[in-house]
Amino acid sequence: MLVKLAVLFSGNGSNLQNLLEKLHRKRFGDNEFEVVLCLCNNKNAYGIERARKFKLESVIIEHKNFACREDFDRALVSEIQKSGADLAVLAGFMRILSPVFTQNVRAINLHPSLLPLFKGANAIKESYQSDMKVAGVSIHYVSEELDGGQIIAQRAFEKTPKMSFEAFESQIHALEHELLPETVIKILTKTATIPKNKKAGNEKLQSLSNRLFHKD
């Protein structure tokens, strides 16, 4: 069975490349994964070049060209639905999404902290500067609340007293590259719990889950 993914990014695209290397046109059991859409809101993002190495042209929709957040989100939703993606993966997509998106697209987000701590764009710096003895990354379902959706997976490491910020950041990214592809696979197989449908966006993933599990 073909499982289609949309990946949204805003910048360097290292997590996009990681997903492409580990999942794109790869088979896991009875399922083959394919990234059918690379979607970016920054025409200068290096991730666009990373996608081209896999012969994928990114769709660029810049938020600054829209009068309001909702209009931008409608454009995102349109592209994702047109692609037929079964799941959208936010991998460094630096936009706060409105209900226009969250109620119509089933999506997960990668966040560089142990949620619910250190939400927002400065999570790595705030986590590093905190008194916490551990740090890590989280993957959660996207909801209307910033970095507040149901947590799916987390992975942590010990923050040592003499660890430099560069080493800390490198460890964060290493965990991201491990956890994100693993979690995408688990979500789309029977090893992950899929929340019960409450909104229209949930119905598509539940249908996919039923097909994967061979349910009537």
Which string of DSSP letters, residue by residue, matches 138-201? EEEE--SSTT-SPEEEEEEEE--TT--HHHHHHHHHHHHHHHHHHHHHHHTSTTSPPPPP-SHH
Q: Which stretch of DSSP H or E encloses residue 123?
A: helix 123-129
Does residue 172 fall inside a structural domain?
A: no
Domain residues for 51? 2-112+138-154+179-212
Total of domains in the chain? 1
Regions of the chain short of the pLDDT cut 50: 191-216
187 in Cβ contact with 152 (< 8 Å): yes
- Enter the pTM of the model: 0.86
Does residue 127 fall inside a structural domain?
A: no
pLDDT of residue 198: 36
Does residue 35 fall inside a structural domain?
A: yes
Does residue 129 fall inside a structural domain?
A: no
pLDDT of residue 189: 76
Does residue 169 fall inside a structural domain?
A: no
Question: 27: domain CATH number?
Answer: 3.40.50.170
Does residue 60 fall inside a structural domain?
A: yes
- Annotated catalytic, 111? yes
As given in the structure block, the two tokens for residue 144 are 């209307």
User: 92-131: per-residue pLDDT in tens?
Assistant: 999 999 999 999 999 999 999 999 999 999 999 999 999 9
* 3 state DSSP class of 1: coil
Does residue 119 fall inside a structural domain?
A: no
pLDDT of residue 29: 86
Among candidate residues 24, 111, 140, 177, the one labeled active-site is 111
Does residue 107 fall inside a structural domain?
A: yes
pLDDT of residue 204: 42
